[in-house]
Structure 1
């Protein structure tokens, strides 16, 4: 009865609200549109398929929301009215955009909140590897052999695109067997193998390889890296060590050393740490060290590791009469004319011929040096890695502890323990308590294998392998509490909340502490939830958030596939590639650990560098391979936008791209994606860029096409602001023979010159950045694309983030406490079988 009485009152209030909004529309919005928009977007022209004249009241905003959201976005960014039309009065523009946003908020408040529905999704490759590691304690990556995960909305954990193919199912069966066998029985006997690694310039005999060696071998720079890691002579590679144990490194060097020099040391590095070394010395009869290969031994843990071989203090211990290259002098070129090795590629373009001619001239000019000077040179011909020797064959204590939960180790297992083993492991694997029928099926498999003569351990392995190919393990399944509720919204269970937390922050299964709070149904308590999030962010496993979220948001995962043109960017090698990636990861990790403001992504005047990367950036005072925090005050670098990793992945292999860089800023920092280019867009004249025409002149010619102008007016200015950085992130003032013009003007009228002023402009859009990062991270945390009904949650999280001084923890807690993260909409007709 009370509802019946209140209904007319509620309807009267809503009607009054619509009437008031209608008055605002007629008195304020329509006059603004008439003055600034109707000239193009009218009934007759309908430019961009948009007719604004047809809207006569506020109800239009909710009835045609997509169009009005586009209108709001273009007004806020200054894209509309377009160039050549008078700019709207700033006060009127601010008033109109605020009114539209207010109407959207009121409309959203009248709609019943919707947390959305998340598709049951399989573990992606990173999640599978991490879950196997934490479940069984095995140190290998079976999912590395799986097919590549598909991506959606910028991430590879989106349920709607993660399908299972027959090939993947076969991989699951093989991975389950290998993981369980390793956990229970160990790796078994491992026969030592030999793998030979060569530097890039040794892979073949074509002119390009010789060219690289000729250009790089004898060169260094003032204040050279005494570790030798950043010198072109060092070898860098990634090697998969199949098991923990001792490995032999056979080093074959080549080069010259003047007599009588002190011996010098060649070091082997694993993941940036020196693990072994051996001395070489030139004989009295020859200065050549060719053919003097030597071996060293080092213990290495199983897994993929970065391996490097370098000469330590190469330019020290030289005889007094040596007058060649020294660290305190400018680099000295090679004494031998190696221009004969520099050959143009087959069917060269005009630009390649010009580059070839320039190299020949440069090499001949380098020969102007006294004939009495003897060179110091060094390179690694190859390194052979043999092993493992004395590898541990049995299961690791950690794996045995995780599997045999009753403590029956070293073969003293009891059959009565099998139910507890299966129950506990299945509960961890399924991320919830295993149901009796699930445990029963696994026990039946084990019992059947025992009847056929299998040992206790082998029969147990059969059951556990079946557990690892169950949909309950392979998929993250969230259950509806009651089927009759259809698609009604409901809170997810504490176990599902624990799973969402762990795969969001760790890309792995919940640990025992999370599961304990889930069992007691206290995980959702604000105090408990806040403490758990802080604990999880402080855990080393949170590096997964850096790798998997950060690597995809910032697109730095693509760094592994980038291949800058060797003739133009000969300094780019695997060591620099790894250093660039590590800089960005350390920056993100520090931001998490120190709970820094997310605005550091835009304007932080610090970063993390080693000597090689500091030299690449032209920053002095950094020595050695260790990364450390470096102050960027007085340099043009700030935030992630000027880090070499981002600048490299947003460039082409031969040159920078104002389009790619501008698009990167719009999509990843300002949440303003651009549509794909129209078909048959003419490409730039690569041969002309930097020779007969500057890149800016080429782009202005390109923008003259009206079809291209609308998007390029947004992208290009942002990209031009970064033009002082070349395609691998080095600072420059010239593009070919043309001075760099790094100025730009955005559609909203804001202008800038160079990266420093560009960062200042981006900081004026900090709220747009906060919403952008919120949307990206919420998408990643949910494993689904965001819909319109998620907008209130995004707005609320971003607003609280601003009130909390943009602290990273505020962003994470805002997501974790949000409606989409804590609840879900049920499946109206679920096709997921629940045992």
Structure 2
């Protein structure tokens, strides 16, 4: 198969509007240097003094007063791109990029003239698009994202369900963020999904009737002999341990506790145990779903208890009519043992005698237990305990948290007022008025006669609270259309909580908001430090990092096993988690963001360390691993999430990697390619046998491609020593690796180590500004605009002065006027 690289050049306005940042960022981008140099001129002056002379020399002969080829006239085309002239200029830009204007037989503009036209048109189009999107620096009212909605309902109701499973995915903003208010819409169908999710959660949180019949048992021996030998249907099963559950519940939370240990030499990696739950509808297959997987760190001499929790309705269950020949009439836990690298556990030590199948009649052979059920392994299960419901308390804590104690003299409506008012304040994250409470009670009055119980009527009333915009949106009321206003303390608490935690404020934060002192800088700093120390802070590392760095790109790359036979797709989520854990470590340890470019440590687990050839971790858990120069790791540019995402699954892709660096680390994204640009095919006669660097050099000889690629390609070449799957290499397929490059400013770079050094020394401020801008945009839930420049510059200056420490940046960001106002 051939490597096909898609060049990147300016595109049509629809693509430009969806791929570039606001105009303020363009002024700092190298490819728009001509426009920045003319910043002191008005748009009309730039056109008349610089652009128009080029058009007169090369274009008006065919598209002027005397002649209008293709019915297109340039001399009357206005320069007000916001007033409707953009479409005509877009056609001009497309013709320039495709090399169709001027026609080949006519005198061609010089490279400098062509670049002047392309840069001017592109810049004006982007300025017009930014102006159209502008909110005047205000945060638009935005709804909760899927993950924010799920987290909020979980924390509000105290029941952990997948509330967002039916909701549509969010489209990313131009910066890649999912929480941008301009992209978050709500359809009538989506409201129905919200209502269904609210009812489902409330039916679990508020209970009626008697407690469920408990099911609890303990076993000390696998259910051998109850699963056919060589069960290889749609869901192949060849486990090391089986636990039958009969009778079994149909609904609710359960917990399975397994006491296990392993024989392991000092320094050996940990074996793994995976637990799945399903049922066996006959002897053909065993449909099941994984409950969890753990490293077994305990020894056989001192085994430990490992807990697995789930909800029984989330797993495959038998139908109402049992199969007569099913080995298990109920449900079954399937427990598999694995080596640390993910391969099946190997038998260890003395084994039971093998059964000679020659002495077993053929009809009976299928009834024999799987050999793996009888074998001995390093890992062993001593006992297992099943418990349902997981929390024996009745009513559960979720119920008593919503239905608070009731005074003896309160009637149903009075008690409903008490419950609804308290729930509304927590759900809407602010005090509620008597009129708002009465509106919900009116609904309670309407549904109560039709419901069998008070609790059912209350569920329906509270469900309406959860489909209100006051719950689904981060509502920030404005009283003045022109002036920036301070957020209320409650609004500030919500903005802070959804920034750092991706969920509703906790009781401590709401208490500070109620006291009216949250705007105080010292109080804000204290809250930021408290919240960063909480477990919920991992949401910032997870979601901000994933969206800023486009970690989902890994899911769009199919690794070709012909080129990388040892690569396992199971590594992809580990690569994504590596970057998330790495950012979290830099943040939680208050390290300098310079570590994101180059670091002397990595966050790895055993499978990923094995892939990279690094020693240290022993299990699935991510650990901080010290690196040496020989490891050739350290920083984002050597992580699999970036390297594999910047490939085509066969070979490295220097253009993708270069665009990623320019966009995500330097906030200087090149424009996307026009749709008709031909792909670069290394298998063609003029490129076959050449290094990728040489192929790109030939490609850049084309005028229409050179204007962009001369500023893109050099950034990706220094990373050629890393393969498509992120492994260090000395040679690419058929050709030696050439990682020497000359960057657009003339700097000579040879390899990733020199590239990282260059970024830290020569692009330090640009990188710092990129981090500030992305964090600020994520925190506000909107794209940044020209009016944000002063705030960005101030935050960047402080960030650099504080050695680019992320915790200090977060404190300064939430203390800024931009964050605290609407």
User: Aligned partners of 2:747, 2:214: CA distance in 1, in Å?
Assistant: 65
Within the alignment, does 1:176 sit opposite 2:198 as a pair?
yes
Shift of 1:246: 4.8
Counterpart position of 1:467: 465
Q: Equivalent of 1:245, from 247, 254, 264? A: 254
Name the SS of the counterpart of 2:485 in structure 1.
strand
Counterpart position of 1:776: 774
User: Aligned partners of 1:728, 1:189: CA distance in 2, in Å?
Assistant: 50
Quick check: 1:180–1:461 contact (8 Å CA) kept in 2?
Answer: yes
Counterpart position of 2:814: 816
RMSD, aligned α-carbons? 4.7
Q: 1:319 to 1:273 in 2, by over 3 A?
A: closer
Counterpart position of 1:742: 739
Counterpart position of 1:142: 163
Counterpart position of 1:59: none
Q: 1:699 to 1:318 in 2, by over 3 A?
A: farther
Q: 1:494 to 1:47 in 2, by over 3 A?
A: farther
Name the SS of the counterpart of 1:302 in structure 2.
strand
Q: Equivalent of 1:651, from 623, 630, 647? A: 647
Counterpart position of 1:555: 550
Shift of 1:138: 1.1
Counterpart position of 1:7: none
Q: Equivalent of 1:642, from 630, 634, 638? A: 638
How is 1:552-591 mapped onto 2 (pairs within 5 angstroms)?
Answer: 552-591=547-586
Within the alignment, does 1:268 sit opposite 2:267 as a pair?
no
User: Aligned partners of 1:480, 1:529: CA distance in 2, in Å?
Assistant: 22
Counterpart position of 2:664: 668
User: Aligned partners of 1:413, 1:244: CA distance in 2, in Å?
Assistant: 33
User: Aligned partners of 2:299, 2:770: CA distance in 1, in Å?
Assistant: 52
Counterpart position of 2:30: none
Name the SS of the counterpart of 2:690 in structure 1.
coil
Q: 1:622 to 1:441 in 2, by over 3 A?
A: closer
Q: Equivalent of 1:514, from 506, 509, 512? A: 509
Quick check: 2:256–2:309 contact (8 Å CA) kept in 1?
Answer: no
Counterpart position of 2:308: 300
Shift of 1:424: 1.5
Within the alignment, does 1:708 sit opposite 2:713 as a pair?
no
User: Aligned partners of 1:815, 1:486: CA distance in 2, in Å?
Assistant: 24
How is 1:373-388 mapped onto 2 (pairs within 5 angstroms)?
Answer: none
Name the SS of the counterpart of 2:165 in structure 1.
helix
Q: 1:620 to 1:808 in 2, by over 3 A?
A: same
Counterpart position of 1:696: 693
User: Aligned partners of 2:673, 2:586: CA distance in 1, in Å?
Assistant: 35
Q: 1:678 to 1:127 in 2, by over 3 A?
A: same
* Unaligned ranges ≥5, structure 2: 1-36, 59-109, 113-134, 216-231, 241-249, 259-269, 276-290, 316-333, 352-374, 378-385
Within the alignment, does 1:677 sit opposite 2:668 as a pair?
no
Q: 1:395 to 1:435 in 2, by over 3 A?
A: farther
Q: 1:42 to 1:312 in 2, by over 3 A?
A: closer
TM-score by structure 1 length? 0.64
User: Aligned partners of 1:428, 1:678: CA distance in 2, in Å?
Assistant: 49
Counterpart position of 1:329: none
Quick check: 1:244–1:300 contact (8 Å CA) kept in 2?
Answer: no
Counterpart position of 1:595: 590
Deviations 1:158-183 (A, max 9, x none): 11111112321221111111111111
Counterpart position of 2:173: 152
Shift of 1:523: 0.4
Q: 1:273 to 1:48 in 2, by over 3 A?
A: farther
Name the SS of the counterpart of 1:603 in structure 2.
coil
Name the SS of the counterpart of 2:54 in structure 1.
coil
User: Aligned partners of 1:396, 1:640: CA distance in 2, in Å?
Assistant: 49
Q: 1:519 to 1:266 in 2, by over 3 A?
A: closer
Shift of 1:710: 2.2
Q: 1:474 to 1:646 in 2, by over 3 A?
A: same
Quick check: 2:292–2:308 contact (8 Å CA) kept in 1?
Answer: no
Q: Whose RCO is larger (CA < 8 A, sep 6+)?
A: 2
Quick check: 1:638–1:759 contact (8 Å CA) kept in 2?
Answer: no
User: Aligned partners of 1:670, 1:47: CA distance in 2, in Å?
Assistant: 37
Quick check: 2:163–2:197 contact (8 Å CA) kept in 1?
Answer: yes
User: Aligned partners of 1:644, 1:580: CA distance in 2, in Å?
Assistant: 5
Deviations 1:440-463 (A, max 9, x none): 111122233223353121111111
Quick check: 1:562–1:649 contact (8 Å CA) kept in 2?
Answer: yes
Quick check: 1:268–1:275 contact (8 Å CA) kept in 2?
Answer: no
User: Aligned partners of 2:308, 2:407: CA distance in 1, in Å?
Assistant: 30
User: Aligned partners of 1:566, 1:300: CA distance in 2, in Å?
Assistant: 34
User: Aligned partners of 1:147, 1:455: CA distance in 2, in Å?
Assistant: 34
Quick check: 2:500–2:532 contact (8 Å CA) kept in 1?
Answer: yes
Shift of 1:388: 9.3
Name the SS of the counterpart of 2:649 in structure 1.
coil
TM-score by structure 2 length? 0.65
Shift of 1:748: 0.7
User: Aligned partners of 2:632, 2:523: CA distance in 1, in Å?
Assistant: 43
Q: 1:397 to 1:572 in 2, by over 3 A?
A: farther
- Comparing 450-459 with 690-699, greater Cα deviation is found at 690-699
How is 1:440-459 mapped onto 2 (pairs within 5 angstroms)?
Answer: 440-459=438-457
Q: 1:169 to 1:190 in 2, by over 3 A?
A: farther
How is 1:189-204 mapped onto 2 (pairs within 5 angstroms)?
Answer: none
Shift of 1:407: 7.2
Shift of 1:399: 1.3
User: Aligned partners of 2:557, 2:528: CA distance in 1, in Å?
Assistant: 35
* Unaligned ranges ≥5, structure 1: 1-28, 50-82, 86-113, 193-201, 210-227, 229-240, 250-263, 280-296, 321-375, 379-386, 825-835
Deviations 1:263-285 (A, max 9, x none): x9984367552479999xxxxxx
- Comparing 765-774 with 437-446, greater Cα deviation is found at 437-446
User: Aligned partners of 1:657, 1:266: CA distance in 2, in Å?
Assistant: 35
User: Aligned partners of 2:514, 2:463: CA distance in 1, in Å?
Assistant: 26
User: Aligned partners of 2:583, 2:624: CA distance in 1, in Å?
Assistant: 12
